[in-house]
Amino acid sequence: MRKKQKNIAMHPLTVPLRKARNWWFHLCTGRSVYSRSDEEHYRQRILVMTSGFWLLTVLVFAIIIPMIIDITPQGRIAANVLFATSVLGVLISMLLLRLREDRIAALNIMLLIYTGAFTAACFAFGGTDSPTYPLLLIAPAMAGLVGSVALSASWGLTVVAIWVCILQAERHGFQFNQIIVPDNHNLAMTIAYAALAIAVVSIIIIYAEMNKALRASLQATNSELEHLSSHDQLTRLPNRRFYDERIALALRRAAEQNGMTGLLFMDLNEFKAINDTYGHGAGDKLLIAVAQRIQNSLRETDLVARLGGDEFVAVLEDVKSADEITRLAHKLSQAIEQPLHVRQQILNFSCSVGVAIFPIDGRQQHELEEQADKAMYLAKKRGLPVALASLEATNTPIPARAPTNRI
């Protein structure tokens, strides 16, 4: 049953913002945002997104703030230089990322230019009173988010060293130029700290989203690996490993509940001749079709697995009688042996089914497998579609297979 999808209302800005993000990422890396889902790709995404945020931050301080706050002519020149330097830093780092995919080198170049430009702005205009002074904290935050904890610590120490130098310069009487009119200084610093707060919150949100995406990707990868390790790649049926785990549980439940469980071994007759005549591609299609037919013929609670080659197995739990198992086995055989169209050819083939029943034919897995295997080869030898390990266990007659033209 299909679940109805809920219509989730999106903010009007969601679509254009996503388009802008996708365009910026493709411009910087030459790839789609969704081209990969590994950790390296996610960290590259963060580097690209934070570089865009850096440009927006510098745009605010270099272009927008001078429009609303009175600054000196030297301050306007410095703002333009700061903006040009920032653009150059982003271009160099993104070019390196696109050509060499070296995330750490691109990050270090961008942070080097970033801290250099903002440090120069601090020394040239205002010192600790410069609006760019608190924004130096963004460097170690970006280093930790895009790089590593060690890289964040190194850039953090760099920022502390810069702050110490600025404070020592003030203590020794270094005269910093004031680019902002004193009446507007508090407003400028408020904007600076607000920008810092927005940057920190944005970094935290980006980091949380990255971890969430990485966990989801890791879980999906683990689930896929687990599925591949327990399922046959061709037919998508459970493999021997999965079958061994499930039959052990099935026999334990049957013993605890005094129930009955059927074990069916199935083998395609003359499968090698089909491969030799029509090729392995036709043989693979036949195996896939047989797997689907087995699944469609049995109950949802029954286990179907491929043991290897043209051998399949089914575990029938919670059956009422041996006659029910026999009827299911005959139904299964008839469904499997329906002609198959492959490459404009009609393949007529047969299948031998051996049946062993818990607890009649054994109580242990190896006992039941041995009995089911013997019954399957008995069916092959006598030309029967189905053979039971214990004929006295059922009252259902075992009909002979009608002769057909094979292959």
Q: Give the helix/strand (H/E) hosting 107.
A: helix 103-124
Q: 3-class DSSP state for residue 333?
A: helix
Cα–Cα nearest to 139, from 123, 121, 162: 162
CATH C-level class of 240-393? alpha beta
Going by their DSSP bridges, the two strands 386-388 and 351-358 should be labelled as: parallel
Q: How many CB atoms lie within 10 A of CB 355?
A: 31
Residue 344 near residue 351, CB atoms below 8 Å: no
- At position 383, the amino acid (one-letter code) is G
pTM of the prediction? 0.54
Q: Sketch the domain layout of the chain as residue ranges.
A: 14-226, 240-393
The bridge status of strand 345-347 relative to strand 386-388 is: unpaired
Q: Which two tokens stand for residue 159?
A: 């920022």
DSSP state of 392: G
Centroid of chain to Cα 350: 41
**Other Cβ atoms within 10 Å of 402 Cβ, number:** 7
Spatial distance between the Cα atoms of 338 and 336, rounded to a whole number of angstroms: 6
- Note whether 318 and 259 are within 8 A (CB): yes
Q: How far apart are CA 51 and CA 326, in angstroms?
A: 69
State residue 37's pLDDT score. Answer: 58
The mean pLDDT values, 10 residues at a time, for the chain of 407 residues are 45 69 72 64 73 72 68 69 77 79 82 80 69 76 82 89 84 65 60 66 69 75 82 92 93 93 94 88 92 92 93 94 91 92 85 94 94 94 90 50 50
For 146, phi then psi, to 5°, come to -95, -35
What is the predicted pLDDT for the residue at 3? 41
Q: Return the pLDDT at 140.
A: 86
d(CA 289, CA 282): 11
Choose among 277, 271, 278: nearest CA to 310.
271
pLDDT digits (tens, 9 = 90+) for 323-334: 999 999 999 999
Round to whole Å and give the CA distance between 103 and 101: 6
Contact 86, 109 (CB under 8 A): no
Q: Residue 98 and residue 88: Cα distance in Å, rounded?
A: 15
- Nearest to residue 342, comparing CAs of 297, 254, 282, 256? 282
The CA distances from residue 341 to 16, 338, 371, in Å, are 50, 10, 34
Q: Quick one: the chain helix, strand, coil %, rounded to 5?
A: 65, 10, 25
Compute the Cα dihedral for 368, 369, 370, 374 and give only its sign.
positive
Which sign, positive or negative, has the C-alpha torsion 179, 182, 187, 189? positive
> What's the pLDDT at 373?
94
- What does the alpha-carbon distance between residue 112 and residue 332 come to, in Å, rounded to a whole number? 71
